[in-house]
Amino acid sequence: MKIIVTEYMSLDGIIEDPVGIENSGLGNWTGPFSRGPEGDKFKHDELMQADSLIFGRATYAAFAAAWPHMKDETGYAARMNGLPKIVASSTLEKPNWGETEVWNGDIVESARTYREKGEGTALIFGSASIVHQLAPAGLIDEYRLMVYPTILGAGKNLFAAGAKRELSLAESRRFGGGIVLLRYVPA
């Protein structure tokens, strides 16, 4: 199983609440930008090729509140709702969004076991706390960053303070609205 981090990120590295549904005070900072047909296709294909999703508790709660009510003609919402999900949480007892497994112990060990046993890809959307724990353990196989041309000045960063890791650029692409896709793998 490959674990892939996929994020909307501001130029200053903030990934928190890009569409404004988490009441962070950052607002919908991706809303003013259109990633265009090529960017939309990338995000659609990425989800269609995924085998599961991994979330932290806060991101899971925000997605679980919104996605079950969404419908679209592309199949994106149906795929988001239908994929198996994992939520890392010590407090969530009864997940309420489709097929959801709860990791409530050692997240790093749970991810290591999941990665070794499974095949395919698991996407991490948002969930900075999960990235902060899995990255130092070498459990992230790829970072897919859609960098938006905006500076937020505050919010959760993708990488924890003091995090160090050499990465190799696998791809860079420009989408609409000045958005740039950067794909990195461990060096």
Number of folded domains that form the chain: 1
Across the beta sheet with 167-174, the strand order is 100-103, 85-88, 52-56, 121-125, 2-10, 142-148, 180-186, 167-174
Q: pLDDT tens digits for the chain (187 residues)?
A: 999 999 999 999 999 999 988 888 898 999 999 999 999 999 999 999 999 999 999 899 989 999 999 999 999 999 999 999 999 999 998 899 999 999 998 999 999 999 999 899 999 998 999 999 999 999 999 999 999 999 999 999 999 888 888 999 999 999 999 999 999 999 9
- Domain with 131 in it: 2-186
The Cα–Cα gap between 110 and 1 comes to: 13
Full-prediction pTM beyond 0.85?
Answer: yes
**CATH number for the domain harbouring residue 71:** 3.40.430.10
